[in-house]
Structure 1
Amino acid sequence: MKKNFAPSAPYSRRAPSPPALEVRYPLMRRRAGSESQFVLVPSYENADAGQLTAEDLSIITGNETRLIAENKSADWRYEDRRKAQRVLDFLYVGPVTAIRDLQFLQNEGITMIIIVRNTRLPSRSLEMASQQLGIVGEYVEVMGTQQLIHNLPKTISTINQHLLHVYRSQAHQCTLDGEMVVDPATFKRGKVLVTCESGNELSPAIVAAYIMAVYGNSFESAVQFIVVQRFCVSIDASLKQMLCTWGGILNARAVVSRDRGPVGSEVGARPIKTAKRAIHDTISPEDHTPDQDKSHMQDQERFCGREAFAPFHDVAPES
């Protein structure tokens, strides 16, 4: 049967896809003395106020105001992909095989290992590290990006609570003002190693999400900060989209935290709106004049003069 219609414009039958998210990976070594773009500054803006205080954030970050990443891309070797690299002073990323290097774990002072996996099989290397070095082990079960973003708040909270626990277990109360302090000569900071099968996808994505939550960076700058230190990181489009969504969640949480007032106070209490007002409801009857009506309808002028678009048009049948 011949069709007597044709499309007015090109179209596709597939479902719409999200736009591609590109991350520019720096390849050149940063010049000595130049202004570095790989700098992190702790920010309490995206922190969960219900679980983390400003004092806790200071303890976790070691009270450092700026953290500069060392660009290792120029000296990167293929064998380095089998090792774990330090991304933050207290956070490492690498493949799950790096757990077997007990000497590395001991030298770096690793106190917790997080394994991101899509299988429930236990890791013998993690059990050995826990028995010989007393390292705490945690598993993050991931069957897809949807489950990964669901587990991000819990995973980030697990890292923060472990770092705070290590600090408080070595702190003692000062006799002068009651503040909890540690002895710098004997204090050993908590350090967390996040691993996955390759160390190039899932574990860097979690570390990037952590940087976005604790330091307030965008997903692009967070990934860049990791790549310059572990050059083999390769985050696919679905993980990039997940990190972009995570950034939106953090921004929304920050807005809600700023706007939230004390419960039951006049600041926090807001009237409940039952319905959205129509444009004519903004004009009172006594003040209704033709001039005011025009001022309210000026926005409709941008729709004037537009031709109607029909997705299909008729075609004459062939004789």
Structure 2
Amino acid sequence: MATLPNEEHIRNLIQGPAEVEWRYEMRRECQEILPGLLLGPFQASKSLETLQSLGVTHIVCIRDAKEAFSVRPRFPEHFQYLVLDVEDNEEQNLIRLFPQANQFIIGAMQAGGKVLVHCNGGISLSPAFVVMFVMQHCQLSWENALHLVQNRRYCISPNGGFLTQIKEYESIYRANISLAANSHAQPMNRIVSRRKREDEDDEDESRYARSPFP
């Protein structure tokens, strides 16, 4: 019974706000995926007034190298940027690039900032990064993380290669959590083991002291 509230919270988190009615023009806007994390297209990053009204402080600009002349930081004097040049195709390795984006987003959120993650269209490339972040941050399965993001930005559709990497990343982040938990437990196990050996040595010394034989 104790797990039910947690399960209900996760279910509500994934479903998102039910009152939102998706309209086609919303694909040109950004949406809040988690508190402090926005996802959208490049168009959403072009209005200084809009960004400031949303409280954005950091921007992750993900672009194909061919788009660098147009998809670029527009207001570097107002926001902190992270620019990732990637190829928007199924062979692009996102898992290798994700830690940099993950660290940037976490740092911004921990500082009380708000991050906009965008690519050109906000359909495939940037959503793949955001799904991986949500999956690890909320410790969800890849399906639940994908649904969480889709329920807030309905138009996302990571390509097949990105979707495969999203699935692969679930086992990676879960293994990292398990490894961290084990590394934390090992020092305690060593302390307990050392104390046990010390107690056994004390018992041996006491037994030897009581022995009638030299």
Which TM-score bucket, shorter chain as reference? 0.7 to 0.9
Counterpart position of 1:299? none
Counterpart position of 1:96? 42
Structure number with the bigger relative contact order (C-alpha 8 A, sep ≥ 6) is 1
Counterpart position of 2:16? 69
Contact 2:61–2:72, Cα closer than 8 Å, also in 1: no
Match of 2:157 among 210, 230, 234: 234
Q: Does the C-alpha gap of structure 1 residues 82 and 210 become closer, same or farther in structure 2, counting only changes over 3 Å?
A: same
Q: Distance in 1 between matches of 2:113 and 2:178?
A: 31
Larger radius of gyration: 1
Counterpart position of 2:101? 155
1:221 matched to 2:144? The reply is yes
Contact 1:71–1:229, Cα closer than 8 Å, also in 2: no
- Structure 2: runs of 5 or more not aligned: 1-7, 194-214
Counterpart position of 2:73? 126
Q: Distance in 1 between matches of 2:72 and 2:46?
A: 6
Q: Deviations over 1:189-220 (max 9, x none)?
A: 30000001110111111111111111101111
Counterpart position of 2:59? 113
How much is the aligned-residue C-alpha RMSD, in angstroms?
A: 2.7
Q: Deviations over 1:89-116 (max 9, x none)?
A: 1000001111112221011110011011
The alignment partner of 1:138 has SS state of strand
Which has more helix, going by share of residues? 2
Counterpart position of 1:207? 130
Residues 184-203 of structure 1 aligned to structure 2 (within 5 Å): 189-203=112-126
Contact 1:117–1:142, Cα closer than 8 Å, also in 2: yes
- Structure 1: runs of 5 or more not aligned: 1-33, 41-67, 168-188, 269-319
Q: Distance in 2 between matches of 1:226 and 1:137?
A: 22
Q: Distance in 1 between matches of 2:79 and 2:86?
A: 22
Query: TM-score scaled by structure 1?
Result: 0.51
Residue identity opposite 2:17 in structure 1: E
Residues 15-30 of structure 1 aligned to structure 2 (within 5 Å): none
Q: Does the C-alpha gap of structure 1 residues 246 and 100 become closer, same or farther in structure 2, counting only changes over 3 Å?
A: same
Residue identity opposite 1:126 in structure 2: P
1:243 matched to 2:187? The reply is no
Counterpart position of 1:272? none
Contact 2:71–2:120, Cα closer than 8 Å, also in 1: no
The alignment partner of 1:193 has SS state of strand
The alignment partner of 1:126 has SS state of coil
Match of 1:142 among 75, 86, 100: 86
Q: Distance in 1 between matches of 2:12 and 2:161?
A: 24
Q: Distance in 1 between matches of 2:96 and 2:59?
A: 20
1:80 matched to 2:19? The reply is no
> Following TM superposition, where does structure 1 have runs of at least 4 consecutive aligned residues deviating by more than 3 angstroms?
122-125, 263-268
Q: Offset of 1:267 from its aligned partner?
A: 7.6
What percent of counterpart residues are identical?
27
Counterpart position of 1:252? 175
Q: Does the C-alpha gap of structure 1 residues 252 and 35 become closer, same or farther in structure 2, counting only changes over 3 Å?
A: closer
Counterpart position of 2:187? 262
